[in-house]
Amino acid sequence: MKLYYSPGACSLGIHVILEEIGKPYELSPVALKDGAQHKPEFLAVNPKSKVPALDRGDGRVLTEFPVIAWWLGKSNPEAGLMPTDFEAETRCLEMLDYVCGTIHPQGFTRQFRAANFTPREEDQPKVVEQGKALAAKYFETLEKNWTGGTYVLASGYSVADAALFFVEYWATRRSGMTLPSHLAKHLDAMLARPAVQRALQQEGLPA
């Protein structure tokens, strides 16, 4: 398998999942800041111009974080990263969608790419503040409705934890945010996992 990623991007979550699985894979960096995602070489891999993208090892490529995470979990059952119970799997997918479809774009893309949300440069600081406020609101929603223990799901560790991890990491390492209690404990538990430590080290990111 080959993971197309950018250091510190949401692809970090998929990187963690690959490390948890423990099977051989390659890393192929995509320099988003240099616009590499828009160049022909990468467009041939993913016409959507974004990471993560995963070459499954058979020449076929998967895109979209929730689908890649689900596929990795389902195709590697021995790793125990996807719940086998139907209700738990449903809740896992629900969390993947909330992180990738709401928390990431509304809470953090507003902070990191404010220009995407306003044509006026003078309005960008307001967009950033709005992003922080939304991220805090979403985190509080998770806090109030936390049903797991150390990890997100009552059934235990899963790919949903790798998804939540990347936005928690952004919040604390890039945005200077303070996480509510359950999420702060979750982040600490994630940072203690060897697979997470390896992924951060490989991407040159601080723990």
Which pLDDT belongs to residue 195?
98
Which pLDDT belongs to residue 37?
97
Closest CA to 184 of 141, 126, 125, 139: 139
Question: What is the SS3 assignment for 64?
Answer: coil
Which pLDDT belongs to residue 109?
98
How far apart are alpha carbons 79 and 18 in whole angstroms? Answer: 10
How far apart are alpha carbons 193 and 22 in whole angstroms? Answer: 13
Which pLDDT belongs to residue 156?
97
Tens digits of per-residue pLDDT, 93-142?
Answer: 999 999 999 999 999 999 999 999 999 999 999 999 999 999 999 999 99
Which pLDDT belongs to residue 114?
97
- Contact in structure between 163 and 96 (CB atoms under 8 Å): yes
- Contact in structure between 71 and 63 (CB atoms under 8 Å): no
Which pLDDT belongs to residue 108?
98
Which pLDDT belongs to residue 112?
97
Residues 6+ apart with CB under 8 A from 110: 117, 127, 128, 130, 131, 134
Task: Give me the residue label for tokens 């800041």.
Answer: 33
Which pLDDT belongs to residue 177?
98
Which pLDDT belongs to residue 73?
98
Tens digits of per-residue pLDDT, 60-89?
Answer: 999 999 999 999 999 999 999 999 999 999
Which pLDDT belongs to residue 6?
98
Tens digits of per-residue pLDDT, 5-60?
Answer: 999 999 999 999 999 999 999 999 999 999 999 999 999 999 999 999 999 999 89
How far apart are alpha carbons 136 and 143 in whole angstroms? Answer: 10
Question: What is the SS3 assignment for 29?
Answer: strand
Which pLDDT belongs to residue 186?
98
- What tokens appear for 160 in the block? 């949903």
Closest CA to 64 of 37, 46, 81, 79: 46
Question: DSSP character for 118?
Answer: -
Direct distance between the N- and C-terminal alpha carbons of the chain, in angstroms, rounded to an integer? 26
Which pLDDT belongs to residue 105?
98
Which pLDDT belongs to residue 142?
98
